[in-house]
Structure 1
Amino acid sequence: MSRVCVTGAAGYIASWLVKKLLERGCTVHGTLRNLGDEKKTGLLRGLPGAAERLVLFEADIYDAASFEPAIQGCEFVFLVATPLQHSSGSSKYKDTTEAIEDAMRAILQQCERSKTVRRVISTGSVITASPLREDGEGYIEFVNESCWTPLGLPFDHSNEFMEEYLSSKCIAEKELVKYNDRPSEGRAFEVVVLLLGLVGGDTLLPYINESQHFMLSPFTGIEPYHNALRFTQALVGAVPVVHVDDVCEAHVYCMERQRDVAAGRYLCATAHTNMQDLVEHYADKHPELKLARKE
């Protein structure tokens, strides 16, 4: 079976993906920022098949060279995790966008040097594919892989954090898919980016993760998460949602069916709903719970 690399292996999506890859018989190289974090390493090493086929590496997006040992010998590289906030300890980069752009460029070079990588599969977000018109006045009539969110516009419900996150995702994704534009003779592998909706569902983690916080914000009323939900709806014109199991199956499909899945960007969402529908769904399914937010 394939030898694969999964970055940020202890994250919400990545840990579920590692579990699925091990179940399929893959040898998994998982990266974490700190191998001394026994809560995270213990979770991964406790997965079925981990004792035989899971190798953990320490790597940090702010030190892109640290990923090279994990990539060596792998056929597929899953770029799952990127930082939500800039590391205050970094003197090399001024912000997350600069760090991630440099890291994506370096990781692509590492994949080339490996001589084994056949495909890079990156976990993206639908917020990079907004159907907003370039002038910010309304939406175009469709959303597909040609859509890119116009940066620099005054988006509703935006703030410094959301603008930085959006910028970092867009620029990193453009850096990745640009690799596919190389002439075939100069291209060592392909890049696929899955643009995920808001991810919900079960978790292997012992705590509520960021994505689940977004989903639960109508209940909890926690303003930063609720505002992020409103920001997504204003940006995309909807709240696309998808189950974590479907997300990981999509990642694995892009690996197993390489001949059937062309390089490029793919939207990955089960439904395009809105905040009002989410609130009504919660109220209908859980009438005993008080909604902190009405929209």
Structure 2
Amino acid sequence: MSESEFLAERFEAHRGHLSAVAYRMLGSRAEADDAVQEAWFRLNRSDTRQVDNLGGWLTMVVGRVCLDMLRSRKARAEQPLEPDVPLPGVVPDLEQDALLADSVGVALLVVLETLTPAERLAFVLHDLFAVPFEDVADIVGRTPAAARQLASRARRRVQGAPAPDADLVRQREVVDAFLAAARGGDFDALVEVLDPDVVARAEAGVTAGALAVAKGATSFASLALVARPALVDGATGLAVLVDGRVERALAFTFVRDRIAVIDVVSAPERVAALNIELR
């Protein structure tokens, strides 16, 4: 076995763990895959012969990559979407998620999106993966005591997070209102049905906040005209039909009778893998 093959084998042994860390950090399967791939590139460019704990080293690398991605996401979060860019949202690959033994609940992903990048990293690495605060501090560039405070603040937010609503009848009413507002380009009506901290996610990126998400949604009035209420993998959502076929799908998560997360799938192979029931 060559040295490169041996290195690849060792990396693959840690891929599941790295994917779990990245997914919890980013909340997006596509972005998590990108982060893990970047960790592989960095491994190939580094001399790890003196690294005793490769799994720990790779976890730190993925943490740094995810932190950079989260900071970049926050920097552009308030930028409105252009009409040719899909509403942000990604429905995680179910087969991949099955590899994550303690998969992330929707409520946790919703509240994680409200944290600062440093808070999110400290909470995920320490509370979910038992990474010492000394290592967390090294990634965020702060003292261990400061890293501990970051995790503590994040923990309080997570513990106080409301559970997602489960009333399908009420959810349908909210979706109908969202659809009517999008069709009419009614910005105020869109904001009314969105949670103030709503997160919209897609392969193209993430948009956070009711004002930014509503502004993006108003630019999709033409698509809203051909959208129909649907269940998307069991979640209340919308299906956009073009020539009789589903061109994209939106799945919603609700908190306190408002839309808290919008997951939009537009890639043909992802759409084909969804279970969509038109209502």
TM-score (normalised: structure 2): 0.27
The structure with the largest alpha-carbon Rg is: 2
Structure whose residues are more often helix by fraction: 2
TM-score (normalised: structure 1): 0.26
